[in-house]
Amino acid sequence: MTDQPSHLFYQSRNPRPFLDRGEGIYLFDQSGKRYIDGSSGAMVSNIGHSNPRVLAKMKAQMDKATFGYRLHFRTEASENLAAKTAQMMPEGLDRVFFVSGGSEAVESAVKLARQYKITQGEDSRWKVISRFPSYHGCTLGALDLTGYDPLTQPFAPMMRGMPKIPAPATYLDRDNLTEHERGLKYAEMLRDKIVAEGPDTVLAFIMEPVGGASTGALVAPDSYYGRIREICDEFGVLLIYDEVMTGVGRTGRFLAAEHWGIIPDIVAMSKGFGSGYAPLGATVAGSRIVEPILDAGGFQHGFTYAGNPMACSAGLAVLEEIESEGLVANAAAMGDVLIARMQGLMARYPFIGDVRGKGLLTAFEFVSDRDTMEPLPVGLNAFSQLVERAYERGLIIYSRRTRGGAAGDHFLLAPPLIITEAQI
Ligand code: PLP
pLDDT tens column, 260-307: 999 999 999 999 999 999 999 999 999 999 999 999 999 999 999 999
pLDDT-derived band at 74, boundaries 50, 70, 90: very high
Q: What is the pLDDT of residue 402?
A: 66
Most informative mutation of 43, 99, 106, 305 for ligand 1 (most atoms within 8 A of CB): 106
Domain 19-51+326-413 bears CATH identifier 3.40.50.300? no
- In ligand 1, the atom with minimum distance to the C-alpha of 106 is 10
Most informative mutation of 146, 270, 400, 402 for ligand 1 (most atoms within 8 A of CB): 270
Residue 73 to residues 10, 156, 191, 293, 297, Cα–Cα distance (Å): 35, 40, 45, 21, 19
Percent above pLDDT 90 for the chain = 85
Angle (nearest 5°) at CA 215 between 37 and 103: 75
pTM over 0.95: yes
pLDDT of 133 > 80? The answer is yes
- Supply the angle between the helices 327-348 and 309-324 in degrees, to the nearest 10: 70
Average pLDDT over residues 110-135: 97
- How many residues appear in the chain? 424
Which segment of 86-95, 328-337, 391-400 scores lowest on mean pLDDT?
A: 391-400
Q: What is the pLDDT of residue 385?
A: 81
pLDDT-derived band at 54, boundaries 50, 70, 90: very high
Q: Is the CB of 213 under 6 A from ligand 1?
A: yes
What is the layout of strands, in order, in the sheet containing 281-285? 95-99, 281-285, 266-269, 238-242, 202-207, 127-132, 164-166
Residue 110 to residues 35, 78, 138, 282, 284, Cα–Cα distance (Å): 38, 22, 14, 13, 12
Is 211:172 a contact under the CB 8 Å cutoff? no
Q: Which one is the CATH code of 56-324: 3.40.640.10, 3.40.718.10, 3.40.1710.10, 3.40.50.1400? A: 3.40.640.10
Is 407:375 a contact under the CB 8 Å cutoff? yes
pLDDT-derived band at 412, boundaries 50, 70, 90: very high
Q: Where do the domains of the chain lie?
A: 19-51+326-413, 56-324
Q: What is the pLDDT of residue 150?
A: 87
Average pLDDT over residues 234-245: 98
Q: What is the pLDDT of residue 418?
A: 98
pLDDT of 247 > 60? The answer is yes
Q: Is the CB of 205 under 6 A from ligand 1?
A: no
Q: Please state the three-class secondary structure of the chain as a single string.
A: CCCCCCCCCCCCCCCCCCEEEEEECEEEECCCCEEECCCHHHHCCCCCECCHHHHHHHHHHHHHCCCCCCCCCCCHHHHHHHHHHHHHCCCCCCEEEEECCHHHHHHHHHHHHHHHHHHCCCCCCCEEEEEECECCCCCHHHHCCCECHHHHHHHHHHCCCCCEEECCCHHHCCCCCCHHHHHHHHHHHHHHHHHHHCHHHEEEEEECCECCCCCCCCECCHHHHHHHHHHHHHHCCEEEEECCCCCCCCCCCCCHHHHHCCCCCEEEECHHHCCCCCCCEEEEECHHHHHHHHHCCCCCCCCCCCCCHHHHHHHHHHHHHHHHCCHHHHHHHHHHHHHHHHHHHHHHCCCEEEEEEECCEEEEEEEEECCCCEECCHHHCHHHHHHHHHHHCCECCEEEECHHHCCCEEEEECCCCCCCCCCC
Q: Is the CB of 251 under 6 A from ligand 1?
A: no
Pairing of strands 164-166, 127-132: parallel
pLDDT-derived band at 403, boundaries 50, 70, 90: low
Is 413:342 a contact under the CB 8 Å cutoff? yes
- Give 320's contacts (C-beta < 8 A, 6+ positions apart): 53, 57, 84
Average pLDDT over residues 232-244: 98
| Dist. CA 424–CA 422, nearest whole Å | 5
Q: Is the CB of 109 under 6 A from ligand 1?
A: no
pLDDT of 162 > 60? The answer is yes
Q: Is the CB of 183 under 6 A from ligand 1?
A: no
- For residue 258, count CB atoms less than 10 angstroms from its CB and return exposed for 0-12, middle for 13-18, buried for 19 or more: middle
Does the ipTM surpass 0.85? yes
Give the residue whose CA is nearest to atom 10 of ligand 1.
136
Q: What is the pLDDT of residue 42?
A: 96
Q: What is the pLDDT of residue 4?
A: 73
pLDDT of 89 > 90? The answer is yes
Pairing of strands 281-285, 352-358: unpaired
Percent above pLDDT 70 for the chain = 96
Q: What is the pLDDT of residue 2?
A: 61
- In ligand 1, the atom with minimum distance to the C-alpha of 139 is 16
Total Cβ atoms within 10 A of residue 15: 6
Q: What is the pLDDT of residue 328?
A: 98
pLDDT of 406 > 60? The answer is no
- In ligand 1, the atom with minimum distance to the C-alpha of 142 is 10
Q: Is the CB of 237 under 6 A from ligand 1?
A: no
pLDDT tens column, 356-380: 999 999 999 988 899 988 888 776 6
pLDDT of 14 > 60? The answer is yes
State the chain's mean pLDDT as an integer: 95
Cis peptide before 279 (omega within 30 of 0): no
- Supply the angle between the helices 52-64 and 309-324 in degrees, to the nearest 10: 150
Which segment of 111-120, 171-180, 259-268 scores lowest on mean pLDDT?
A: 171-180
Residue 181 to residues 188, 220, 381, Cα–Cα distance (Å): 10, 11, 36
pLDDT of 101 > 60? The answer is yes
